[in-house]
Structure formats: structure tokens, C-alpha cells
Structure 1
Amino acid sequence: MHDDQRRTAALATALERFPAVADRVSRVYGLRLPRHLAVFHAFWASAAGEERSALSDLMLRPWGITDYFADNGLDLVARDGLDERLHARYRRDPAEFVTVLSGNSDGEHFGLWYDDPAALPAMITVNYARDSAETWVEKSPTLLGVLRARIDSAIADYGDDTGYGPLLPALAWFADADAAALQADGWEPPRSRAYGAIAPFPTLPPRTGNPRLAKSQDRLTAFRSDPAAAARWLTDAERDLAAGKPALALAIGAELHWLDTDTYRDQGLPLLVGAYRTLGRHALAEIATLHATHRDLDSVQVLT
């Protein structure tokens, strides 16, 4: 089959599958699925010959909720009676992070980032789960753009020796569909964003309190080695949360989730879940609660 025919067919199939996959993600996760994920699947599924070999060399692969787009992907079920929201969720992943692509080292994985379950994901993020597991923001708003940026960077550094050149025509071919997906979803460039020491901080409505992100690293230090200071931070967060201002509870709950120690586990989860509930972000509260119950899974390959 000619390249254009193969890509056209793959894109038509992915877009045809999109409503059913989006419904599955909505029912299971309580989240909205962006159309650009269908375009990425079409790009990946259409690769053949040298393109397929180059993708293999990249050592990336669709994973997480992207698995639903595969042939018979909607027939996948969670193993051992687990909840499928645990699929591809490493133990220190934030609740806002939903995996869509596996990386090539140190537990690298890419995810859609959901500030608010009622909205489409705000951006794409990356996390090295087997390294220090902070979450970083990618520049591109689409997964295809993230892949293009990685390939362009490698070619800029190493030239033709990368072997990624055969992917460039396919990336260019799907670029219009990627842009159309963003337009159909009404995507707009993100506003300026605050960051803590471990991850981007979710955007919040007005009058939800002060997360005091400039003190994020100080808090992590306190939770590691200064029980008195840690107790003060916990008291402040609990007080703000009780007053209907969840920002500090959300920040500290996320920091304790990332820190992943037993000492403050019983205090961190109620702060995190309470903040999500106060914000009306119940899907994230449920993910955080579920994740806390199953953080010790031997494998995060849950769908089978």
C-alpha cells in the first residue's frame, strides 16, 4: 500500500475509534480525552518498513490509555481484579498524570496532565519513575509534537547517524491532522503556571488559598528531617482546608505523595483527597485514593 493510502486509512480508523475510546476514558477515569491522541495512534499504527525500524530504535511505545486505540484495545481488562485506572501508574505519579507513552530509560513515561477533570488536559508531562520521579512539562501540546521534538533534537545532535530520518515525512503528513485535532478541541495556549519542587502545580479557581510554593523545597526538607516544622505545615494545611481553602493542602498532599514515606502517609492522603473534593475534582480524588491503596504493585502493567 502506498504511504499516503496507509496513513489515510490509519487516520480514518483512529478517528472512527475515538468516540468509543473517549467514552471508555470518561466512564472509567472521569476524564476527557483529547483528539490528538487519536492522531498519534494513527501515526504509530501506519508506520512500516524503515519507519517501523526507526520507531523501534527510539525505544518508545504507546502505553497507558493509548492502549485502548489498538486493535481490540477496548476488549482489554484489568488483571487480578484490579482497577484499570492503575494501568501504567507508577507509585509516585501525581493523580493529574495519566500515562500515554512509555519512554526509553529510568522508567521514563509521558502523560496527559489534568488540572481539572471537567476540562481537557492542560499539557503533556514526562516523569522518570525509576529516577527521582519529578514531573516535567513538555513544550508541545500534542503527543505527536513531543515525538517530533525528540527526533528533531536527536537529528540536530547526531545528524543522519540517528536513523530517524525516515520518520520525518510521516510526521509532516500527520501535522495537519494534529493541528485540526487541537482546533476541534478548542485548545488554547496555557496561561502562566506555578511550579513546586516536584511538579507543575494545578491551576486553581480564585479564593482557594495560597499553596506557598516558594516553600515547597523547605517543606520537603522538613518532612524528611524536622518533625516540628513538618507538624506546623500540616496544621496550617488542615486549618486552611477546613476553612474551604484547599491550595496548601493540595500542595502538601502532593508533596507527601511524592516523598512516599510511611511517616506522614496517614496525614498526606486526607489532605490531598480533601483538597480535590473541596475543588470538586472528584475523579482525581478517586484516582488518588485508589492509587494509595495499590502503590505496592509488583507491576503497573495492569491491562491485559
Structure 2
Amino acid sequence: MDTDARRLASLDKMHERHPAVAERVQRVHGLRLPRHLAVFSAFWDSADTAERMALDHLMVSPFGLTEYFEDGGLERRARDGIDERLHARYLCDPAEFVTVLSGGSDGLHYGLWYDDPADMPTSIVHNYARDSAETWVNGYRTLLGELYGLTVSVRQDSADEVRPLLDALDWFVDADNAVVEADGPSRWAGSPRGRTAVSVFPLLPADAGDPQLDRSDARLEDLRAGGAEATAWIGRAEAELTAGRPALALAVGGELHWLARDEDREVARRLRADGYRLLGRDAIAGIVDAHAANAALPTVDVLVR
């Protein structure tokens, strides 16, 4: 089978698998699954020996939702009765972050970012879980785009090792663009995104209040130190939440979640879960609750065959 035929066959196979994977993700996570994961999975499935060696050099591999596209992927079940939503979810991951790719170094993993479970994810984000565990965004909407950016970024130092990937990635661009168009734009597309000291911040309605992102660095230090200033910030967040403005609660709760201390876990859960439910983002709130209840898992590998 020649290269074009091999890639087209993989595209057909992954497009056929997408509806069943999307149903699983909707049922388990309450989230919509973008078609661009099917295109990435076709790219991965069709890789020849040289392309596979280049991917090994980048130390990337399917992880999280992309594992459902593998042969027998939908036969996987959560081990020991653990909540399936915790598969590939690291300790400091924001609830909006759903893993789709492992990066192999310092716990690097990439995920879809869901501002609102009613919409498609707005971007790809990444996090070094075994380093400082902040969440960052490079501006790519699709996983194939993120991988292209990664390939280009290392090409200067590893041109020979990663060159085979560029032709393959270019081949799949039209398919990637087509499914993005088919999924349609997120209502949040083009909205300016802020961040806290530790993560990109969810896009919120205008009446959600002020998350005071410009004070996040100082606030994080207050929360880390504990004492009166930390108590005051939590009190302000709770007051805003009671008034129907969840933005500050999501910011403070997210910062406490990132600190990952046992003594903060319940207030971090409450601020975020209540805030998301106030916004009607119940699927994200459910992830908050599940993660807080299982923060001590010894491994993020939850799904088994």
C-alpha cells in the first residue's frame, strides 16, 4: 500500500471510530469530542518506520482520550472501580484540562481545554506535572497543530530526526482544517484569555464578576502562607459566589487546587464546583468533585484492558 492509500485508510478508520468514542466521552465526561482527535489518531496510526522513530525522538504518545481510538480502545475499563474521568488526570491539572497526549519528559502532557462543556474545546494546553505543574497554552486549536509546533520548535537542533514528520503533518492539514470547520466555531473563539499565576483561566460571561487576575501572583503567595490574608481572600471569593459572581471563586479555588495541600482540598473543591455549577458548567464541576475525592491515587493510569 502506498503512502497516500495508507493515510487515507487510517483517516477512514478513525472517522468511523469517532462517533463511538464521542459517545463514550459524552457519557463519561459530559464533554463534546472534537473530530480533530480522529485526524490526529489517523496520523498516528498511519506513521511509517521513519515517522515512528521521529515521534519516539519527540517522546510523545497517545494518552487519555486518544487511547479510545486505538484498536480495542473502547474495551478499556477503569480499574478497581476508580472514576474513569481520572484517567491521565494529574494532581494539579485544572478541571477544564482533559489529557490527549503524553510528552514523556517531566510529566509533560497535553490536553483539550474546555471553557464550557456545551461547546467544543477552545485550545490545546500543556503541563509539566512532575515539574512546577503550571498549565500553559501555545495557541493551537488542534492536537495536530500542537504537534506541528512542537516539531518545528525542535527542528533546529534535531533536523534529521524529525524531518520525516513534517511531510506527514503537512499531508493531514487539509483533513484537520475540514473537521474544525465541520465542528464549527466555539462561541468563545477570539475572546481574550487571561491567566492566573499557575494556569490559563477559563473564559467566563461578562456578569461572572472580576477574578482579579492582576493580583494572582501576590494572592498565590498569601494563600501559600496561610493566615489572615489567605482567610480574607477565601472570604471574598465566597461572598462573590454567594452574590452570583463566580469568577473570583474560580481563581482562588484554582490557585488553592494547584498548591495541592490536604488542608486546602475541600475549600478548593467547593469554590470551583459551586462556581461551575452556578455557570451551568455541571460537567466541569463533576470533574472537580471526582478529582478532589481521589487526589491520592498512586498513578494516573486508570484504564486497563
| TM-score normalised to structure 2 length | 0.96
Query: Following the alignment from structure 1 to structure 2, what is the Cα–Cα distance between the partners of residues 247 and 139?
Result: 23
Partner of 1:214: 214
State the match for 2:165 in structure 1: 167
Report SS of the residue matched to 1:150.
helix
Displacement of 1:158 in angstroms is 4.0
Match of 1:185 among 169, 183, 186: 183
Kept after mapping to 2: 8 A contact 1:122/1:190: no
* AA in 2 matched with 1:146: E
Percent identical among aligned pairs is: 55
Q: What do the CA deviations read for 1:168-200 (whole angstroms, capped 9, x no partner)?
A: 221111110001011111136532111111111
Aligned partners of 2:257 and 2:264 also within 8 Å: no
Secondary structure of the structure 2 residue equivalent to 1:164: helix
After TM superposition, what 4+ stretches of structure 1 lie above 6 angstroms from structure 2? Answer: none
Please identify, of 201-210 and 22-31, the stretch whose mean Cα deviation from structure 2 is larger: 201-210
Q: Describe the superposition over 1:55-97 as per-residue Cα deviations: whole angstroms up to 9, x where unpaired.
A: 1222100100111111111111001111110100001100000
Aligned counterparts of 2:127 and 2:140: Cα–Cα separation in 1: 15
Q: Are 2:98 and 2:112, in contact at CA under 8 Å, matched by a contact in 1?
A: yes
- Distance in 2 (CA, whole Å) between partners of 1:86 and 1:262 is 18
Residue of structure 2 equivalent to 1:106: 106
Q: Distance in 1 between matches of 2:6 and 2:163?
A: 19
Spell out the pairing of 1:127-138 with structure 2 (5 A cutoff). 127-138=127-138
List runs of 5+ in structure 2 lacking aligned partners: none
Instruction: Give the match for residue 263 of structure 2.
Output: 263
Deviation (angstroms), 1:255:
0.7
Q: How does 1:111-130 map to 2 (within 5 A)?
A: 111-130=111-130
Letter in 2 for 1:193: R
Aligned: 1:10 with 2:10: yes
Q: Secondary structure at the match of 1:191?
A: coil
Conservation of the 8 A alpha-carbon contact between 2:191 and 2:203: no
Whole-Å separation in 2 of the counterparts to 1:101 and 1:138: 15
Q: How many Å separate the matches in 2 of 1:54 and 1:226?
A: 47
Letter in 1 for 2:13: T
State the secondary structure of the residue aligned to 1:165: helix
Q: Distance in 2 between matches of 1:175 and 1:265?
A: 42
The residue correspondences of 1:1-304 to structure 2 (distance < 5 A) are 1-160=1-160, 163-187=161-185, 189-304=189-304
Conserved? CA contact 1:95–1:288, under 8 Å: yes
Could you give the per-residue CA deviations for residues 140-183 of structure 1, whole angstroms, max 9, x where no partner exists? 211111111111121134433xx111122211111100010111
TM-score by length of 1: 0.97
Q: Are the counterparts in 2 of residues 276 and 284 from structure 1 also a CA contact under 8 Å?
A: yes
Distance 1:224 1:83 in 2: 29
* Other structure's SS at 1:91 match: coil
**What SS does the corresponding residue of 1:301 show, helix, strand or coil?**
coil
The CA distance in 2 between the partners of 1:26 and 1:226, in whole Å, is 39
Letter in 1 for 2:50: E
SS of 2:208's equivalent in the other structure is coil
Query: Take 2:130 and 2:232, find their aligned partners in 1: how far apart are those partners?
Result: 31
The alpha carbon displacement at 1:226 in A equals 4.4
**Paired positions, count:** 302
